[in-house]
Structure 1
């Protein structure tokens, strides 16, 4: 069985024993900073490795509990799989504990263990009262059924039981996606003398290999992973769920900030406008107004922005879901489904949180239509999202589908595979995809266009392929139009002759109302043999319009009943055939102009164009002043 990797968050009020308990579990003191030692509080995130049993590897995140360090707390819990909520037996639930609970719930963390710490400081009666108080505080939250363990970090009492409870809870936790595109939100950056720039973070998804070429977003710096460590041990790679430090080449410490994101592909987009599903805290101290400044915490970033409502101008009730948009002052890197926290900058307080519906929002109108659109986006399946973007963009490859839907790479690939199997998707020109219904729509539009064309120009073989492609390329991508056209010809729905496209079974013919007159013109042309008059002379005196005459000329040429002869004349096919037969019979392998003139008994005015026509038809070839037969009977 492959190893699994999880991140465990130690959360709770200041001085409730999180750091001591982390040390009891892992034998690692996560208070690193001098000021942390002096003040006995955690300021920065602390991390410790723990292997509960063979194959189950944990990174314990000891997050700061003090209100002033809430940013670090949010950054720490944003990537965790299971939270251990530490509550001191001698103090019980504190205001900070309640805020942590709200943050954890907004961040979508579903798995929790309640660790009642410092049990050696209280008697059994007080411990029972504290337990009831905690259970009451958890009512109405997603953690109401969380298991309780009783521990003391100093004596080690209950620590083994906590480890076993962790193991039991983690069995129901889905491991992070190691097959998606690598993403690591940076929460720490520093330098080590002789080594250079180091970043730390929890791998949200994917794998990073030593030597990998990476991109740092949103600044879009290209960097290289010179060295990869997991809990201070060099590794060839780090997987989703692992706490890792990466030595980056090609960048200085000053060019990296907490909140930046390391990625290994160009699937990820940066944005300043996100559509979100938002819920508010149970008790708002003051209403939240339209376009109110807010501070959003997403991943490890903290960015100012404004909240934009589309169905209200104020929120003072809580509990309901609000679909809205956050317009940011700085770019962030988010994907659909990413969780976030909203805080009021002044007075500083957590006001809500939720998840990202669409990373790249647009400008929308206030009203029910926008809310309906956002709700539809929110409830969409991967197949729905793919269908939606393809209905707008017609033809996209997997990379573009990932960017536009903000779904994981393997989710998109799985959905595409199912779409091809269910035949609602088609593959176009090797790994580009479109909707079957879009193909059918174009098929109907092309059919209608050609039907109209045949009615307008019944004497033409069809519409020029180039003209047809150009016409529909104003609406669809040219490659999609060409693919569809070729497919319709292959399927027998359309037919192509030379460069002309027509409906299956169509053949040009003379219009009924002018058929007799046109046949007379054709007959006269045939009678004149090689000594043809100008084309306009054949139609002069007939009721045919100039357009009708031009269309008849096109008809004769396209159906091979005649050829263009000089600039203003046509020559009938029978005249050409007779001339070829006569020359063929009375000449050797080569012949000259004078010889041909004597045989055909025509002037040079007609002879030279006729011989040039034979060259064009590859019946003869010119060698100096002679013609040589290429095809001789």
Structure 2
């Protein structure tokens, strides 16, 4: 059986759960808002799972050993406050059903779901729901108007040309046509069963006398009965006792399958939601480096040393970001042996596609993740009542930092520098090849020793070097290889004319993390 994971996404109260219930033949224990809190509040609070099995479309026959197609519906919450759950659900799906209330059209969370969908999928069908709420004499005209509006919105996304089907999930109107359209855009997803096993757990519970059941989606690889898996969060290995797919026993679970895996008993509260894997595959990660892709709809600042909520799989954690770029772009990947320039902010209208910006993300608490995981950064503390996109940027992990002592062992090797520029003035002449300069450094807390040997330039054009410190204050001694010109010396002797004062300019690079015996390392 070929399994396709179909994500039902959209604004709160657009009818996603009702549609899942109308389409599904099989329900998991976590489906259709069975959670008492969901029933009390009247909204979906967690991911729900159910399934529909159908014949394999003729277009997909002959491309594998499948003779049946199973749609596993992932019913995602729609409320703005639950966006981290929506992002977690989106990362396990193959195809999106965007549910739109015909009476309200594209709303704030509908748009956010579109953005999330663009990062995780390439196929979509739009369910224009609740047509039964529109009077019949107005329905045709309104459906046509809404379809044109949605088509216009989709033209600006990767989902341009996606089919739109008007339905009523509550009344069962046009659901047969919807399923036919869904089958027409179904495809055989890329699966790699030879990779290490990785399983995204979304629910975890104990069955007395049997073990602990972890339900979720196989992200890659496969697992068989009696094989060992690791629970990296608690650093423990367990044996697989049984596997079920919607209550049917299986001997093997492969990438894309929605299954329950029963393993040797442990306290389910220790995991709840997370990863299970081939032993040793998942790493504890304290920081990572990604190439930054700004989300064009995010209008807030992305500044160096600011904090963002970072979503990786089901994990959401606060991270402090350090932004940097390669001056002469050679490739799009991070290279620890290359020097990078620190940048203060990513411009909203940045259009230089060759200007590759990277970000070092330092997590407030370590997370469990794998190489090349998708990283999505957001501002969850933004006002959810405003019409604004909270998703800021995304990227793939290019470098894992799995050393707990990374601040002392990894960061000093990270060659990130900041361009600095200091201006001082010549205070007096020692001789025609030597001057005393002031104003380049502050009186307190300066580390003048670090700058000895660096080049400076006078506003008159001559080049020299900082030869030594001078006195106990902030002054330094400048030396020139050839004597200064008579014109420059004459200007320096005119002490009363401050407008004609000779300036001293010092340009250098200061490393952000690399230090030497006198402080942060500086070079030219």
TM-score (norm 2): 0.65
Deviations 1:520-540 (Å, cap 9, x if unpaired)?
xxxxxxxxxxxxxxxxxxxxx
Mapped partners of 1:322, 1:48: distance in 2: 41
Q: Report the alpha carbon displacement of residue 263 of structure 1 after superposing the two structures with TM.
A: 0.6
Residues 386-432 of structure 1: CA deviation (Å, up to 9, x unaligned): xxxxxxxxxxxxxxxxxxxxxxxxxxxxxxxxxxxxxxxxxxxxxxx
When structure 1 is superposed on structure 2, of 225-234 and 187-196 the one drifting more is 187-196
Q: Which protein has the bigger helix share?
A: 1
Select which of 105, 112, 115 maps to 2:124. 112
- Pick from 373, 379, 382 the counterpart of residue 344 of structure 1: 379
- TM-aligned CA deviation for residue 215 of structure 1: 0.4
Partner residue, 1:148: 164
Distance in 2 separating the partners of 1:74 and 1:331: 19
Paired with 1:30 and 1:177, the residues of 2 have a C-alpha distance of 31
Q: Distance in 1 between matches of 2:393 and 2:306?
A: 13
- Quote the Cα distance in structure 1 between the aligned partners of 2:304 and 2:395: 18
Q: 1:322/1:55 Cα in 2 relative to 1: closer, same or farther (>3 Å)?
A: farther
* 1:93 corresponding residue in structure 2: 106
Q: Secondary structure at the match of 1:137?
A: helix
Is residue 2:339 matched to residue 1:304?
no
Shift of 1:20: 1.0
Please, which runs of 5 or more residues in structure 1 have no aligned partner?
Answer: 370-633
Counterpart in the other structure of 2:196: 181
Work out which of the residue numbers 5, 18, 21 in structure 2 matches 1:20. Answer: 18
Work out which of the residue numbers 361, 372, 376 in structure 2 matches 1:326: 361
Is 1:314 the equivalent of 2:345? yes
Distance 1:204 1:127, change over 3 A: same
Report Cα offsets for 1:131-179 as digits up to 9, x if no partner: 12212222311112212122211222222222222222222x5232222
Q: Secondary structure at the match of 2:173?
A: coil
- Alignment equivalent of 2:83, drawn from 67, 70, 83: 70
* 1:218-254, Cα deviation, whole Å (9 max, x unpaired): 4321122222221233322221101112222142123
Q: Which residue of 332, 340, 365 corresponds with 2:415?
A: 365
SS of the residue corresponding to residue 164 of structure 1 reads helix
For residues 503-562 of structure 1, give each alpha carbon's deviation from its aligned partner in whole angstroms, at most 9, with x where no partner exists.
xxxxxxxxxxxxxxxxxxxxxxxxxxxxxxxxxxxxxxxxxxxxxxxxxxxxxxxxxxxx
* Residue in structure 2 matched with residue 39 of structure 1 by the alignment: 41
- Aligned-partner Cα distance in 2 for 1:84–1:226: 34
Q: What residue in structure 1 maps to residue 387 of structure 2?
A: none
Q: Quick one: distance in 1 between partners of 2:106 and 2:350?
A: 22
**Pick from 109, 120, 126: which aligns with 2:142?**
126
1:319–1:49 CA distance, 2 compared to 1 (3 A): farther
Residues 413-562 of structure 1 aligned to structure 2 (within 5 Å): none
> Larger strand proportion, structure 1 or 2?
2
Give per-residue Cα distances to partners, 1:480-522, cap 9 Å, x unaligned.
xxxxxxxxxxxxxxxxxxxxxxxxxxxxxxxxxxxxxxxxxxx
Aligned 1:229-244 pairs, distance under 5 A: 229-244=244-259
Instruction: Please state how far the C-alpha of 1:340 moved relative to its aligned partner.
Output: 2.4
Kindly indicate whether structure 1 or structure 2 has the higher relative contact order, using CA contacts under 8 Å at least 6 residues apart: 2
SS at match of 1:163: helix
Pairing partner for 2:305 from 248, 272, 291: 291
Over 3 Å counting, the alpha-carbon distance change for 1:313 and 1:299 in structure 2 is: same
Structure-1 separation of matches of 2:289 and 2:166? 42
Matches within 5 A, 1:576-587: none
Q: Deviations over 1:367-393 (max 9, x none)?
A: 599xxxxxxxxxxxxxxxxxxxxxxxx
In the alignment of these two chains, the number of paired residues is: 364
Equivalent position SS for 2:219: coil
Matches of 2:400 and 2:180, distance apart in 1? 39
CA contact (8 A) 1:218 1:331 kept: no
Query: Could you tell me how far 1:12 is from its partner in structure 2?
Result: 0.5
> Are the structure 2 counterparts of residues 20 and 345 from structure 1 closer, same or farther at C-alpha, using a change threshold of 3 Å?
closer
Equivalent-residue separation in structure 2 for 1:313 and 1:168 (angstroms)? 48
TM-score w.r.t. the length of structure 1 is 0.54
Q: 1:191 to 1:89 in 2, by over 3 A?
A: same
Alignment partner, residue 223 of structure 1:
238
Give 1:490's aligned residue.
none
* Partner residue in 2 for 1:263: 277
Please point out which of 253, 256, 266 is paired with 2:268: 253
SS of the residue corresponding to residue 185 of structure 2 reads helix
